[in-house]
Each structure stands twice: as C-alpha cells, then as structure tokens.
A and B are shown apart, each in its own frame.
Chain A
C-alpha cells in the first residue's frame, strides 16, 4: 500500500551555504529509514525538502513514480511529527487528531470513528477532552503521532520526535513508534542525532555530515563496518590510533600492529588511522589464553580510570600517551576484581581494527 520515494541528486543552498549537497536515495515502500548526523549536517533541511516546506535548489524528489518537487505540503500525502510536538494548544486531544480529517471534509461519523481508533492505537483512550497543556511531554508526542497517522499518510516523517523527552520515556516511545510502523506498513523517515535511537529503530541508517550521505546501511553494517573514520567515531565509541604503513603492518610509535582489514588501504609509507571499538579489545587472562593472541598486538598498560556503566565497565588506559577505552562485561570485571593502577594485558585482535587513510577533523 505504501509507495516508493526516491531522492535524485537533491540539493538545497541557503545563499552560499550548501545545506544539502546532491544526495540520492531509494526508499522502499514500508521501509524505516533514519537520517543520522550531528547538528547542522543538513538532516532536518532534507526532511523539510521532502515535506515541501523548503524548495529544492536542484534535483528531484520522486514519489510513486512522479516528480513532486512543486507539490505543496498539503498534497504530499505525508504525515509529519515535529520535535516540539506542535500540537494546537487551543484544541483538545480529540480536536487535534480530527484536524487533518476535518481539513479533508470527511463526514463527522467517520471522523469520530477514526479518532477513537487513533486514541486506542496511541494508548490515550479517555484523554480525548484534555488540552495539550494538561498532558505530559510523552503523551503530547503520542497525540502528535496519532494526529499524523489519522490522515492515513503513505509516508510518515518524524523530525527528532523524542529529543525533548526524558530518557526513560524516550525508550518507551521508541518501541511505540517501531510497532506502529510495522503494524501500519507505512514508510517512515526518521531524523535524529541520537545514534542509539537510529540503530535501534531503522531498517537502514543514513549517516549525514556536511550535507552529504557518508554511509547508508543496516544498523549492523553501520556499526560493524564503518566506511569512514567519521562514521566509526560518530556511531558507537571508537579508539583511534594513527600510524604509518610499513609492509603489512601499521607502525604506531614503538608498536607494530598486525591489521587484518588493512589490505588495499594506502601504500607503504602512508599514514593510516586505525579505529577499534572498546568492546573489541580483549583482556588477556582468565578467559583468553596468551597463546591465542597475535603477539605483536599485545599491549601492557595500567588501568587509569574505571567507570561503571551498568552492563559494562569502561576502563581508561594510556597507549603511546593517548587515552583509550576498553569495555568489559560487568560479570567479568567482578571476577577479576580490577582496581585503579592495576596492570592490564590487552589484546587488539587484528580483525577488530578498521583502517582509514583519512581522518575527519574532530571539533573538540
């Protein structure tokens, strides 16, 4: 029932600023797509282009095989949920949900039915006569969702819908959104700067930076195979080590790492940037035998700071005077009874490294 949506070299310039830079993407019917990126990366502008609130500078937006560049937002058949909820404060929950239906001159009987159905769906049955100011933030966002869905849109667009909410409610509403999308089979485009949210929700994640798509893939691909150092840094946590390529090894200061995935990344003498996830680094000891390790990838160091994060414990250590992290499961940590200053023997598995020739500029 949903229809395909295609972005073809979509660009938006504000004066000399290029907010969105010729991006292309095919969105399958019923797909859950997340635009993920830091603030100012152009993700909200791109969403506004799709909704029709902004006009394209160049490129095409193609919906159901038709170019819709000049179609006003009212005719686009899209439901939109805003970061600030944007409920009509002068209307009750019921009137808010009914608004889009009223605009379509649907008979009152059908409106009432549809509103009741929506109230059930968003779990706010019985709240229809409340005004938005009388609802909590989470409830308000549910109404906003119900209001957008009521008009039976084929595409739902959500602009950071959860960022104004408390952490707990955020996680709970995430599930609500995911389930609604699956039940309705609607195409959903979701903009967020929260990588956890994007990975948890999306069928495909689009990583954006400086108006361009940096990587498109399933959450698993994005997390496990970050194609650029930026993606490795922005999604999840990564330790970065810089070094020089010498034959099949990467020379980092006094160390020479064996890196499995570095073939074809740079030539001899090039500087190479390695990234490794904190949870991919292994503690040599109880579980891991030293014989199973790649000897040149073993690092001896000390625990500088220990942070208890719940399921995992993050230990900060120094390597070549750079701060790095290792995450170990809380249960393992408990067994080993590590303390600050204790010696650590760490193994960097060759296949756990990502190697890049470029390094994105950190803003810090």
Chain B
C-alpha cells in the first residue's frame, strides 16, 4: 500500500502556482474597493447631490450659500405643505389596515386548520408580480367616475379618487410584504405557548391578547414599519388615483417634471427621506432583535380549530383573496374588452399600443430586467461573500452602505441620479445602463441580505478545505461558493427581475425620449387617456413575470441534485 505513494511520485512535488498566490492577495481588497466605489458613486453621490441642491443656494457648495430658504418656501406654501400631511395620513391609515388585515390572514394560515392554505398563500403574494399601479387602475375601473360598481351598478356619482382610493390601493399593494413578515413570525413562535395557556384555563380571547400578540410583537412592528415605508414612498398608485390629492411622492414628480423646480423637488425628497428613513431604521433594529425569538420548531402540529372559528377564518381569507383576484381580473379583463364597462366584446385592439414606444418599451423592460437580474444577483452575492467570509478592512461600513438603499425611496434616488449624472461627460446618462445600475442599487439591500443568510448556511470549513487544497479566492468562489449558492442566486435573480419589470418610482426620472420602460408606459398611457391600453401593458408585464417565475421553477427542479443516502 505504502509503496504506491513512493512509486507514483510522477510529478516531483505538487506545488501551487506562486504567481496565482501573489495575485490572490490583491483580490479581496480590489473587490472591496470596487463595491465600495459602486455604492459610493451610485448611491451616496446622488444623495449628496440632492442634499447640495436643497441646502445650498443654486446648489453651489459654499458656506455662504448654506440656506434653509427652500424648506421655508416649502413649509409656508399651504399646497406643498399639504402633501406632507396627506402622505402621513395615507401612510398611517394604510399601515394600520394592512397590519391588522395581514395579521389575521397570517394567523389563519399558521394557527388554524382552514382548507386551501396553499391557495391563499399564493394569492396574497400576487401583488408582487405587478407594478404598484395595477391596484389603482382596477379601482378606477370598478369605483371610478365611470366605474362598473359605482356608476353602473349603483348609479351613484361618488367615486374613489383621492385619499380613499390611495389608501385602498396601497393596502392591496402592501399585503404581500407585510404578510411575509407576519407569517414568518407566527410560524416561528411556538404554538405550544398558546396551548399551555389554554390548558391553564385562559379564555381564547385572553390567550390571543396576552400570548399570541405579545409573542409576535417584533414581527408586527417590523411589518408595520415596512408597510409605512412602502406606502409613503409609492408613486404609481397615488399618481393614478390621487386626483388633486397630492402626496410627497407625486409632489416631487410634479415639481421636477411640470415646473422644473429641481431645488424644491430635492427639498421634498429630503422631507420624504426623513419618515422613510425612520421607518427603515425601526424595522432594521426590530428585525435584528426578532431573530432571537425564532425557535427551530418547524411544522408544528396545529390542533383542529372549532367549526365556527374555521368558518369565520375561511370566509375572512376568501374575502381578502377575492379582493386581490378582483384587482387582477379587472385589469386583465379590462384589457381585452372593447369599451369598459359598456361594450364587453372581446378584442385585442388595446394591445396595439397607441404610444410611440409600445412593444419596444416592453422588450426594453425585458432585457433590462434580465441584465438587472443576472448582474444584480451576481454583484450582491460577491459583495455578500466578501463581507461575510472575507471580512475585509472596513467591513462594517461596507455592510452599512449595502443595507442603506432600502432606506432611500426610489423616487429620491431617481432624482439624485438626474442631479448627479446629467452632465455630458457621464456618457451612460440617458442610456438603459443607468437604469440597470439604478435598479440594482435600489434593490441592493434585499439581495445582499438574502445572499448573506445563504452564505451563513455553508459550513465555513468547506471553504477552508478548498483553501487548504490550494484554491485561491476566485476559484473558491466560482467552484465552491457559487454552486452552493445556486438556489439563493436564482431567488435573487427572480427578485431583481420582478423589481426591474415592475418598478415605477425608481426609474420614472430616468426614462428618456430614447429609452422607454413598460411600467412607465402604463402611466403615460393612462395619462393620455388610453386606460385600456394601460391595462394591456400592465397585463403584459404580469404575464412576463409569471412566465419567468415558471421558467425558474423548472430550472430549480432540473438542476436539483439527486438526494439520497447510501447504506453505512
């Protein structure tokens, strides 16, 4: 046996290439610098440009130019000031409604034995596949001035435009985001706590208020903070259904696009940044705490619910699901009928988009989304790998930069991009590439967080084994880390793809005469009165996103490794 070893020493001594090892020393610092530079240039610089324009006269950086003039003008003008109150009112109302609605929905799905849980779960996630404008479009078709239900069923002149419309559409838009958090929270909290309390003689109401709710409190606050952030920064729904009711997001757009008052747009951006930053920080702080609450008990046995409880919760979930289905059905059907709600003959004519861009906008969106999906999930995985396992110098700062984009409203970032990059020497300005970068940066946080949590599941000694066998950073990443992160990579891909297909606020300032995007086309079409075609564009986006989801599902199934274990 031993002689084998001596005889086959064909190659004198197996050695790792020295040049490679020398090069390897520079890989981590180089990638760290690249990622820092990316975030610095495409996140901090634009934000800095906004601050500069808001706080300095003519946006010229000098101590003598420092001024609060813009803020004074904002707060002394009743119309613009109203946008702040409107935003706060709409956001608080939406937050309250969404948190309550999704809490009971998540409760039904985790703590009761209602039928059709898989169906309900899929339905409540639906809003993720469409731009945050689909709700407003549907509500107008149903409850607008010429709405199917208001004008035609009840013959009333009441319509949904204004705060009510915004709140309802935002509620329908925020449901999945809030639900995911509460569902995770309620799944993680040990159901036996409830049983223990019940066995000690507590009434169901007492169990609910003293055990269930307190044990989920971090999840509730986190879900509420996220909803608040999503609502106050949303642009698509309020711009379509708000009517004269201005909110901060629409006001920024109006100041910049209609009045060309960039300095006021920048000022309002900062006013919008404050509450959204606060909500983000609250969420960040809370979600760090709530990790400790999650126990390992998965798939607990749920005791059969009493018939009345079961019926009530089934009815409740059906109601919520139906509202979401109604939104999508309205938009999809609305895109195929001749004249809603008068002439119900089916037609494809709304798919002959009357705008200049039309289908080209859709294709641009698709290829941009593919690029964003691949580049975004790759960059965030690399960044996560460097931060999490290589622990470079300045790791904390890099991490902070990486999670910051979630705190910055897309609209604000978009405005920052105009202010920062609208210069002739930034040749990428006005091209699709600035859109690609913008969407990746805006969604950097979730991508990097999910990559990090995936990397934490990889046994650190696997990487050390590779290193001890002579592997350098690049080969370790591509041969070990990347293949082991395959599922997380695909999940991130679909996330980035969906965001790129559906985002409105991030890119509305970046589309140009030459670069059109499908989601923005919806607003343009609706603005020009082509509502049915807006619906058709919306439907097209939904179909493309769903198709991509299907394709990825197949890929995940096909590439799944054969499991199974051998006998000992």
Q: Do A and B come from one complex?
A: yes
Residues of A within 8 A of B (CB): 51, 53, 72-75, 78-80, 82-84, 86-90, 99-101, 103-106, 110, 113-114, 117, 120-121, 130-131, 133-139, 144, 147-148, 151-152, 169, 179, 182-185
Q: Do A78 and B468 touch across chains, with their CB atoms under 8 A apart?
A: yes
B465 / chain A contacts, CB cutoff of 8 Å: 80, 82, 86-88, 144, 147
Q: Do B464 and A183 touch across chains, with their CB atoms under 8 A apart?
A: no
Question: Which residues of B, 443-471, contact A by the 8 Å Cβ criterion?
Answer: 459, 461-462, 464-471
Given contacts A131-B561, A147-B469, contact A103 B475 (CB under 8 A): yes
Q: Give per-residue flags for B9-44: 1 if the beta carbon is below 8 A from chain A beta carbons, else 0.
A: 111011111100100100000000000000000000
Distance, CA A53 to CA B10, complexed state (A): 30
Q: Do B568 and A138 touch across chains, with their CB atoms under 8 A apart?
A: yes
B293 within 8 A of A: no
B191 within 8 A of A: no
A121 / chain B contacts, CB cutoff of 8 Å: 1, 4
Q: Do A152 and B13 touch across chains, with their CB atoms under 8 A apart?
A: yes
* A181 smallest CB distance to B (angstroms): 10
Q: Do A183 and B5 touch across chains, with their CB atoms under 8 A apart?
A: yes
Given contacts A121-B1, A179-B1, contact A135 B470 (CB under 8 A): no
Q: Do B1 and A88 touch across chains, with their CB atoms under 8 A apart?
A: no
A184 / chain B contacts, CB cutoff of 8 Å: 2, 5
Q: Give per-residue flags for B525-566: 1 if the beta carbon is below 8 A from chain A beta carbons, else 0.
A: 000000000000000000000000000000000000111111
Distance, CA A15 to CA B413, complexed state (A): 41
B2 / chain A contacts, CB cutoff of 8 Å: 182-185
CB contact between B564 and one of A51, A133, A179 (< 8 Å): that residue:
A133
* B10 smallest CB distance to A (angstroms): 6
A-B contact pairs, 13 of them (CB 8 A): A51-B464, A74-B16, A82-B461, A84-B459, A104-B16, A104-B17, A113-B10, A131-B561, A133-B561, A134-B564, A135-B565, A152-B13, A183-B2
CB contact between A103 and one of B11, B464, B471, B562 (< 8 Å): that residue:
B471
B483 within 8 A of A: yes
B203 / chain A contacts, CB cutoff of 8 Å: none
CB contact between B471 and one of A74, A106, A117, A137 (< 8 Å): that residue:
A74
A100 and chain B: residue at smallest CB distance: B469
Further pairs besides A86-B465, A88-B465, A183-B1: 4, Cβ < 8 Å: A74-B472, A75-B16, A100-B469, A152-B13
Distance, CA A63 to CA B366, complexed state (A): 58
Question: Which residues of B, 196-255, contact A by the 8 Å Cβ criterion?
Answer: none
Closest 3 A-B residue pairs measured CB to CB? A183-B2, A100-B469, A103-B470
* B561 smallest CB distance to A (angstroms): 6
A74 / chain B contacts, CB cutoff of 8 Å: 16, 21, 24, 467-468, 470-472
B307 within 8 A of A: no
B483 and chain A: residue at smallest CB distance: A90
Q: Do B11 and A110 touch across chains, with their CB atoms under 8 A apart?
A: yes
Distance, CA A169 to CA B568, complexed state (A): 9
B565 / chain A contacts, CB cutoff of 8 Å: 133-136
Q: Do B563 and A133 touch across chains, with their CB atoms under 8 A apart?
A: yes
Distance, CA A114 to CA B247, complexed state (A): 70
Q: Do A51 and B8 touch across chains, with their CB atoms under 8 A apart?
A: no
Q: Do A51 and B11 touch across chains, with their CB atoms under 8 A apart?
A: no
Total contacts A-B at CB 8 Å: 124
Q: Do B14 and A106 touch across chains, with their CB atoms under 8 A apart?
A: yes
A151 / chain B contacts, CB cutoff of 8 Å: 14, 469-470
Q: Do A80 and B468 touch across chains, with their CB atoms under 8 A apart?
A: yes
B480 within 8 A of A: yes
B484 within 8 A of A: yes
B568 / chain A contacts, CB cutoff of 8 Å: 136-138, 169
Residues of B within 8 A of A (CB): 1-2, 4-5, 8-11, 13-18, 21, 24, 459, 461-462, 464-472, 475, 479-480, 483-484, 561-568
Distance, CA A53 to CA B13, complexed state (A): 23
* B319 smallest CB distance to A (angstroms): 45
Interface centre among B10, B14, B471, B475 (most CB of A within 10 A): B14
Distance, CA A152 to CA B11, complexed state (A): 10
Interface centre among B5, B8, B17 (most CB of A within 10 A): B5
CB contact between B562 and one of A75, A131, A182 (< 8 Å): that residue:
A131
Distance, CA A80 to CA B463, complexed state (A): 12
A83 / chain B contacts, CB cutoff of 8 Å: 461
Given contacts A100-B469, A131-B562, A147-B469, contact A106 B11 (CB under 8 A): yes
B465 and chain A: residue at smallest CB distance: A86
Q: Do B462 and A88 touch across chains, with their CB atoms under 8 A apart?
A: yes
B4 / chain A contacts, CB cutoff of 8 Å: 117, 120-121
B567 / chain A contacts, CB cutoff of 8 Å: 136
A99 and chain B: residue at smallest CB distance: B469
Distance, CA A169 to CA B472, complexed state (A): 34
Distance, CA A125 to CA B218, complexed state (A): 54
* A350 smallest CB distance to B (angstroms): 46
Distance, CA A138 to CA B261, complexed state (A): 72
CB contact between A90 and one of B8, B484, B566 (< 8 Å): that residue:
B484
Given contacts A75-B16, A88-B480, A90-B483, contact A80 B564 (CB under 8 A): no
A182 / chain B contacts, CB cutoff of 8 Å: 2
Distance, CA A51 to CA B468, complexed state (A): 8
* A185 smallest CB distance to B (angstroms): 7
Distance, CA A144 to CA B461, complexed state (A): 12
Distance, CA A101 to CA B568, complexed state (A): 28
Q: Do B17 and A105 touch across chains, with their CB atoms under 8 A apart?
A: yes
